[in-house]
Structure 1
Amino acid sequence: MNTPLIRLEGIGRTYRNGELSTTVLHDVTLDIHAGEFVAIMGASGSGKSTLMHLLGCLDQPTTGRYLFEGEDIAELDSDQLASLRSRTFGFIFQSYHLISSANATENVEVPAIYAGLPREARHARAEELLTSLGLGERLQNRPNQLSGGQQQRVSIARALMNDARILLADEPTGALDSKSGHDVLQLLKDLHARGKTVIVITHDREVASHADRLIEIRDGRIIHDSGRKPSPAEQVEAPPPRPARQQGLAAFGDINEAVRMALRALKANLFRTVLTLLGIVIGVASVVVMLAVGNGARQDVVERISDMGTNLLLIRPGAPNTRRSADGTTNTLTPEDAIVAARVDNVVAAVPEADTRATVRAGNTDAQTQITGTTADYPLAKSWPVASGVFLNDDDNRRYAAVAVIGQTVATNLYGDADPLGQYMLIRNVPFLIIGVMQEKGATPWGQDQDDVVFVPLNTASNRLIGSRHLSSISVLIEDLSLSDATQEAVRQAVMANHSGIEDFQIRNMASLLENIASTQDTFTVLLGSIAAISLLVGGIGVMNIMLVNVSERTREIGIRMATGARTRNILQQFIVEAMVVSAIGGAIGVVTGLGFASMLQYFGTPIQFTAGPVLLAFGCAFATGLIFGFMPAHKAAHLDPVVALSAD
């Protein structure tokens, strides 16, 4: 008992504001032993509240030394000071300093959160303390539902939550009526009798008279000290520090508390919350919808080109980098070119095509359509099977047969629901027997109806319909797609040799075309995603603004948490988690909204591709938005001065 619990040696405290400085405490030297009941009395402005802040490690002296159990607190960092406050001090404030959005039980639990006490244990202890103080029926009441005396009792229960050795009471009866004030003083005396060190800050001599030791302060100096009065309470052994294993629970507890507090804050400011969430919702929904539309458009184009055949080389008449003539009659390809192309290694088939447009008639119905003269390998090269009947064969071509295979659009236009097989149709007044109907193919990526076509033998088309042996194109089917470039060059050389070394044709590789179009679509998708990301960025700025407002509005709450043991990382974590909770809720709503809107677009015919990637990306970006844009407000909150925060309005 020879070493004082608290020793102040020549303590001075000066506040500076620019070039102005104000000294509040002058050369204060004071010893306080464990188990004492001390009253520090002085008029308003005498420095007694500043002295209390120093004693409670909420503030640090400008000069002098503060020794706690012989250890200089100047050697402790902010987190070590927070830990010391958590396990040693309990604060009872004149204005109670309760968290308005939390009920009585939750307010009392706050110190235990930062001490690492498990939730069930701290909840049980909080209820036990409140019940012992006569508030058993007020456990779920919020501060605005309690009287002044009841709020002060909640404040006392909070001070006792971590079994604090020292109770610091700042004007504990100043805001109470006489009966409530008497009850509070009696409670402090009972706590002192149980071994607590009680330090009361007051300007009221009647309140000070309840203490065993009176210290008077005026103009920042101690002018009177009645001296230490030994008490049996001083012999009570101080409680041991909390086990280290409980500290390990603090991080998980902090996250849970931050999530619950975030939800309370959202509920308390519902309209502002809706406006904040709106930015995140719009941003996330935009990302989901635009990426779904972009991916859907890409997939649609790829499927259409794939239907045309990706292992094809398309030979067209006309020299490279030149256009065909206006009437499309560039005459550089012949059926012999298809024959030499078919002899190249890795070529499965080379299918010649001669196209023209003509009017076809069946009964009293006629229609304009495309006529294509080709050979038997056309369905193989184009991956386009016959739906009914048969396709043209080599014998039809040799005999110049007047037979035709029609597409689904022609079948519908000329015959409606009737079966066209075995029927005759007129092509330029030449009767053709319909021997087959192709499966439905659909439109090309550029919108051409592939089913609006009539296929006839190549020789028949050249002699009886077109009057020329020149071809519109040759489709070369290759076997090994990995050798497409080498095969393309071999075909080019073979056809050039057939043209006496003149390259008056051009070859297009459909696989390369597919890659180019897919690349273009990817760029388009990235562009859409970037535009949507701007909306998400705007939403993130909204989150940052609202969190800055939260920090400003809840500055006193931050001070309360710091006074009850919250470390810098606790406050930082708390506000970052709050921002992430807001963003996560907005992200979830945005994902649902985006998927719903994309489904509606799909219902009306827009190509949509739903994949997990864009959804996870959008939600992840929303979560990251909360982390990034919540950091600055959280950093600001975590580095507030506890004393300044407590005095905020």
Structure 2
Amino acid sequence: MTPLISLKSIRKTFTSGEVPVHALKDVSLDIEAGDFVAIIGQSGSGKSTLMTILGCLDRPTSGQYLLDGEDVSDFSPDELAERRRRMFGFVFQSYNLVPTASAEENVEIPAIYAGLPAEARRERAGALLERLGLGDRLDHLPNQLSGGQQQRVSIARALMNGGQIILADEPTGALDSRSGRDVLATLRQMHAEGHTVIIITHAPELAESADRVIEIRDGQIVADRRLRPLPRANPKGPEAIGAEAASAVVADVFEAVRMSMRALRANLFRTVLTLLGIVIGVSSVVAMLAIGNGAQQSVLSRIAAMGSDLLIVRPNMANFRGGDGGSIVSLVPSDADAILELPNVAFAVPEMSSTLTVRAGNRDTQTTVNGTVPQFPAAKSWEVGAGSFLNTEDMTSYAPVAVIGQTVADTLFPDGGTALGQYILIKNIPFQVIGVMAKKGATAGGQDQDDTVLVPLSTGNLRLFGARNVRSITVQVKDDSAINVTQDQIQALLDDRHKRQDTQITNMAAIRETFTETSNVLKIFLGSIAAISLVVGGIGVMNIMLVSVTERTREIGIRMATGARARDILTQFIVEALVVSALGGLIGIALGLSIGGVAQLFGVPVSFAPGPVILAFGSAFLTGLVFGYLPARNASRLQPAVALASV
């Protein structure tokens, strides 16, 4: 029969500085299926090195290793992991249990990488622990178990995938005599059930309990004695479970997330510090962009309320050189009439304003008195809330009538009475209130637009302002796509009428476009600041993950010994980084929305949109993926034997 294990001229050399250390020297050995072998030797004899090679945890420097007739010397790391998962079960002197996992979860680990469904894993793990007398310890952590109980958990884990070959490294070395006898009895029972058992020990009394004793000294086999005959049936032991699912690309993602959460809970304070960078970055993105969007929409809505198809004509005082100190008249009402004759002009509304004191009864207020024309509401997109607006007859008859803003109405008539029909005094001249404008709100600069009184321009110039000119002319165009052409025509008309360029025109559409561009740049700037926070948070994730890999090197070795492939370890640590980032992203989104909500309570314009939230969370997730990859790759490249030997 083909031996289950066959070593031919195996050598293993380590380098300590510049000095080569020959751990194994030309070792040849055959082990049959169903045998019970003890490999005995003193410390430094090479027995542990031999065990790591037998268990496919390390590769020989030279020689041939045939496992069930297959040469594993040139197997890929994933192929070696598949053999460990399918054929081997390890029992270590120091138990090598994952400290943050319960007894049941420790036993389940090999089956995770074998692709066994979660329910089947739990059922089998529970049955194995029950069989070994630990049925009431399923949810206990390793530090809640005695040494003997921990070793029995280790044995159950070795049997989880079938454990055709049980490799036990000093299985009783850390136990008291009674626990040692119990463990040895368990190993004998496993052998009787068909498992091939290989014990590595330095204790002669333990070796004598085996059927075959191989003595190793200075890296060479010096004795090979058979104490009891090999069972005739040569049983190969139980079949590996989950073999049909062993080709799964990665372990169950849910299990990876669950293991990640357990690892993060084990270092809660460090996890919180790691989350902090991500939380700050994500909340900054959400809050800053929400406030930025709110401010932009607020200003744009006010510009839109003023009308994006408007041109505002004003005197250009910078071009005046009046040396006598007198007032220079630039715009006059007739300029508005001339502008109205141009094509593409819908309205031309001249205005003159001044800050005056207005009184009603025993109340007074200082407000802006604006002389205007009947087209004012249409040009300004401002409706009359109550009553009526000025008409053409009011203009021609110099009527002493007024339309007031909501703020003036609330100030002068606060008792809930109507202002319509009441008289107000402006410069001690009575004006009858014929209308109240609808509430308009504040401008982008914070000026209250409702704090105004509107009177006929003719009446205002004659009786209030003492002037025949106007301060501005608001022009509304019919086709805003031709607004720039109309602007040039108006400028040319006024230059010709005044024989000089003494006016300037403000294009509201250009202001809207300029503001939009500026606010977009500002949002990019704010987003960049928040992105820097995310990068800082990502660096924190990477640093913590690197520390985690260092601290959990032995755990990585345990997982590899139980069949985890490099990509399983890579997936595990990437998922862990993603869990941190995703959790930080969710907390950051909640915090950012809360900050925006608080800002709204203080009157700050805020506009929440799904885009920035998705962007922030996606950036956090991508940060975890990018910055978690390097630590995960380092973890996946560890050699199982080296990882298990770490302190």
User: TM-score normalised to the size of structure 2?
Assistant: 0.94
Aligned-partner residue type, residue 435 of structure 2: G
Partner of residue 470, structure 1:
469
User: What 5-or-longer segments of structure 1 have no aligned partner?
Assistant: none
Partner of residue 356, structure 1:
354
Give 3-state SS (helix, strand or coil) of 1:67's partner.
strand
1:133-148 → structure 2 map (5 Å cutoff):
133-148=132-147
Does the Cα contact within 8 Å between 1:115 and 1:250 map onto a contact in 2?
no
Aligned-partner residue type, residue 305 of structure 1: I
Cα displacement (A) at 1:218: 0.3
Give 3-state SS (helix, strand or coil) of 2:73's partner.
helix
Cα displacement (A) at 1:322: 5.5
Partner of residue 295, structure 1:
293
Partner Cα separation in structure 2 for residue 32 and residue 155 of structure 1: 23
1:409-448 → structure 2 map (5 Å cutoff):
409-417=407-415, 418-448=417-447
CA offsets, 1:116-175, max 9 Å, x none? 111111111111111112221221122112222211111111111111211111111112
**Is 2:146 the counterpart of 1:163?**
no
Aligned-partner residue type, residue 566 of structure 1: A
Partner of residue 380, structure 1:
378
Give 3-state SS (helix, strand or coil) of 2:25's partner.
strand
Cα displacement (A) at 1:289: 2.1
Partner Cα separation in structure 2 for residue 184 and residue 554 of structure 1: 27
CA offsets, 1:319-345, max 9 Å, x none? 8x8699999965322223222322333
Does the Cα contact within 8 Å between 1:117 and 1:249 map onto a contact in 2?
no
Partner of residue 399, structure 1:
397
Pick which of 322-331 and 231-240 moved more: 322-331
Does the Cα contact within 8 Å between 1:90 and 1:167 map onto a contact in 2?
yes
**Is 2:128 the counterpart of 1:129?**
yes
Does the Cα contact within 8 Å between 1:369 and 1:454 map onto a contact in 2?
yes
Cα displacement (A) at 1:240: 5.6
Partner Cα separation in structure 2 for residue 331 and residue 234 of structure 1: 121
**Is 2:506 the counterpart of 1:531?**
no
**Is 2:123 the counterpart of 1:106?**
no
Cα displacement (A) at 1:309: 1.7
Partner Cα separation in structure 1 for residue 197 and residue 344 of structure 2: 96
Partner Cα separation in structure 1 for residue 84 and residue 260 of structure 2: 25
Partner Cα separation in structure 2 for residue 398 and residue 587 of structure 1: 67
Partner of residue 54, structure 1:
53
Pick which of 480-489 and 175-184 moved more: 480-489
Does the Cα contact within 8 Å between 2:291 and 2:607 map onto a contact in 1?
yes
Partner Cα separation in structure 2 for residue 325 and residue 264 of structure 1: 82
Does the Cα contact within 8 Å between 1:406 and 1:436 map onto a contact in 2?
yes
Cα displacement (A) at 1:387: 1.4
Cα displacement (A) at 1:28: 0.7
Cα displacement (A) at 1:227: 5.7
Cα displacement (A) at 1:211: 1.9
Cα displacement (A) at 1:393: 0.8
Partner Cα separation in structure 1 for residue 378 and residue 195 of structure 2: 95
User: What 5-or-longer segments of structure 2 have no aligned partner?
Assistant: none
Partner Cα separation in structure 2 for residue 102 and residue 9 of structure 1: 39
Aligned-partner residue type, residue 584 of structure 1: A
Cα displacement (A) at 1:208: 1.3
Partner of residue 637, structure 2:
639
Partner of residue 597, structure 1:
595
Cα displacement (A) at 1:572: 1.1
Give 3-state SS (helix, strand or coil) of 1:23's partner.
strand
Cα displacement (A) at 1:24: 0.8
Identity over aligned pairs, percent: 58
Does the Cα contact within 8 Å between 1:409 and 1:452 map onto a contact in 2?
yes
Over 3 Å counting, the alpha-carbon distance change for 1:252 and 1:491 in structure 2 is: farther
Does the Cα contact within 8 Å between 2:102 and 2:139 map onto a contact in 1?
yes
Cα displacement (A) at 1:506: 1.8
Give 3-state SS (helix, strand or coil) of 1:64's partner.
strand
Over 3 Å counting, the alpha-carbon distance change for 1:243 and 1:365 in structure 2 is: closer
Cα displacement (A) at 1:372: 1.7
Over 3 Å counting, the alpha-carbon distance change for 1:451 and 1:83 in structure 2 is: same
Partner of residue 37, structure 1:
36
Give 3-state SS (helix, strand or coil) of 2:606's partner.
coil
CA offsets, 1:184-205, max 9 Å, x none? 2222222222222111111112
CA offsets, 1:592-630, max 9 Å, x none? 222223222211222222222222222222222222222
Over 3 Å counting, the alpha-carbon distance change for 1:324 and 1:300 in structure 2 is: farther
Partner Cα separation in structure 2 for residue 324 and residue 281 of structure 1: 60
Aligned-partner residue type, residue 226 of structure 1: R
Does the Cα contact within 8 Å between 1:195 and 1:234 map onto a contact in 2?
no
Over 3 Å counting, the alpha-carbon distance change for 1:639 and 1:310 in structure 2 is: same
Over 3 Å counting, the alpha-carbon distance change for 1:123 and 1:170 in structure 2 is: same
Does the Cα contact within 8 Å between 2:282 and 2:620 map onto a contact in 1?
yes
Pick which of 523-532 and 199-208 moved more: 523-532
Partner of residue 510, structure 2:
512
Match of 1:274 among 236, 255, 272: 272
Aligned-partner residue type, residue 421 of structure 2: G
Pick which of 223-232 and 534-543 moved more: 223-232
Aligned-partner residue type, residue 310 of structure 1: S
Does the Cα contact within 8 Å between 1:35 and 1:233 map onto a contact in 2?
no
**Is 2:88 the counterpart of 1:65?**
no
How many residue pairs end up in the alignment?
A: 645
Give 3-state SS (helix, strand or coil) of 1:396's partner.
helix
CA offsets, 1:260-279, max 9 Å, x none? 12222232222333333233
User: TM-score normalised to the size of structure 1?
Assistant: 0.94
Pick which of 509-518 and 410-419 moved more: 410-419
Partner Cα separation in structure 1 for residue 167 and residue 565 of structure 2: 20
Partner Cα separation in structure 2 for residue 297 and residue 428 of structure 1: 39
Partner of residue 176, structure 2:
177
Over 3 Å counting, the alpha-carbon distance change for 1:230 and 1:250 in structure 2 is: farther
Cα displacement (A) at 1:310: 1.6
Does the Cα contact within 8 Å between 1:41 and 1:208 map onto a contact in 2?
yes
Cα displacement (A) at 1:497: 4.5
Pick which of 265-274 and 321-330 moved more: 321-330
**Is 2:244 the counterpart of 1:232?**
no
Match of 2:387 among 389, 402, 421: 389
Cα displacement (A) at 1:5: 1.9
Partner Cα separation in structure 1 for residue 17 and residue 326 of structure 2: 86
Pick which of 46-55 and 140-149 moved more: 140-149
Does the Cα contact within 8 Å between 2:148 and 2:179 map onto a contact in 1?
yes
Over 3 Å counting, the alpha-carbon distance change for 1:339 and 1:96 in structure 2 is: same
Aligned-partner residue type, residue 190 of structure 1: Q
Does the Cα contact within 8 Å between 1:317 and 1:324 map onto a contact in 2?
no
CA offsets, 1:501-546, max 9 Å, x none? x443222111220121122222222222322333333332222222
1:3-14 → structure 2 map (5 Å cutoff):
3-14=2-13
Give 3-state SS (helix, strand or coil) of 1:216's partner.
strand
Does the Cα contact within 8 Å between 1:559 and 1:646 map onto a contact in 2?
yes
Partner of residue 545, structure 1:
543
Partner of residue 246, structure 2:
247
Does the Cα contact within 8 Å between 2:115 and 2:242 map onto a contact in 1?
no
Over 3 Å counting, the alpha-carbon distance change for 1:538 and 1:297 in structure 2 is: same
Does the Cα contact within 8 Å between 2:34 and 2:235 map onto a contact in 1?
yes
Match of 2:613 among 599, 612, 615: 615
Give 3-state SS (helix, strand or coil) of 2:250's partner.
helix
**Is 2:193 the counterpart of 1:191?**
no
Does the Cα contact within 8 Å between 2:12 and 2:62 map onto a contact in 1?
yes
Aligned-partner residue type, residue 26 of structure 2: D
Partner Cα separation in structure 1 for residue 163 and residue 559 of structure 2: 15
Does the Cα contact within 8 Å between 2:34 and 2:236 map onto a contact in 1?
no
Does the Cα contact within 8 Å between 2:94 and 2:174 map onto a contact in 1?
yes
Does the Cα contact within 8 Å between 1:276 and 1:546 map onto a contact in 2?
yes
Cα displacement (A) at 1:92: 0.8
Cα displacement (A) at 1:635: 1.7
Partner of residue 574, structure 1:
572
Partner of residue 561, structure 1:
559
Aligned-partner residue type, residue 82 of structure 1: A
Partner Cα separation in structure 2 for residue 239 and residue 264 of structure 1: 32
Partner of residue 90, structure 1:
89
Partner Cα separation in structure 2 for residue 201 and residue 324 of structure 1: 106
How large is the Cα RMSD of the aligned pairs? Answer: 2.4
Over 3 Å counting, the alpha-carbon distance change for 1:330 and 1:525 in structure 2 is: farther
Partner Cα separation in structure 1 for residue 251 and residue 326 of structure 2: 75
